[in-house]
Structure 1
Amino acid sequence: MKKPNIVQLNNQYITDENLKKRYKEEENRKKNRFMGTVLVFVMLLFILPAYNLVSSYRNLQERKDEVVKLTKEYQSLTKETQQEKLLVEQLKNEDYVEKYARAKYYLARQGETIYPVPSLLPK
């Protein structure tokens, strides 16, 4: 194998050019390191608000689910309250009270026999 016929000159100009090249490379490394640091910092600045946004959205969805649940519960309680008010009004009638006591508590007059029919029980 043949050796190349290239001879490197070692004069002041070559040394200065090599030194300039090293300085430029070092400056580029510093710039790249600085830009990397800035990039990481910017990413952190965006990550924290994004996390807070996602957390707030999740919290909002939980609240919406809770509102729906409480609305259904309110409707069922309103319906139950109306039924109770209706029962109170009906219990003011003595005939209904007698019928209710006979059906629900199996009360009977002396000499009567009671045959309960579940579908006829008052609610």
Structure 2
Amino acid sequence: MGISSDGILVYGIPCEEDAIPEFLEEFEGDFDAYLESISGLPQWGGPGHDFAAQRAFRDACPVDLVAHCSYDYPMHIIAVRGTEYRNSRGSVTEPTSFDVPLEKLAAFTNWCTERGITGKPRWCLVSMYG
């Protein structure tokens, strides 16, 4: 029995090697904790917390943070939500489209600009060793 790598194809902006995006530093790279903090909704464990509302806020975000490289030493790509294709060893994943809808790209670009994230998004083929 061995360890394998998953293949990941995603459209986004790679972060610098071994760097946590600056806007996530106070959250130690936890993208979900960051989104929870800006949602304006009651926090996890607090009175009135609504998991479904928190999930809806997260799903409406035009950005995903995709980890790659290895679970012990992750690297990150700030990605357009919905563009990630992932494949485990021994299976086949067939991308359905390489077109990124203009409205998704515009929302992604605006979100990144608001946080000072620069770079040109592109298709990135990476792996996750686990």
State the TM bucket, normalised to the shorter chain. under 0.3
Q: Give the alignment's TM-score, normalised by structure 2.
A: 0.19
User: Comparing both chains, which one has the higher relative contact order based on Cα–Cα distances under 8 Å and sequence gaps of 6 or more?
Assistant: 2
Please identify which structure carries the higher strand content: 2
Greater Rg over alpha carbons, structure? 1
Q: Give the alignment's TM-score, normalised by structure 1.
A: 0.19
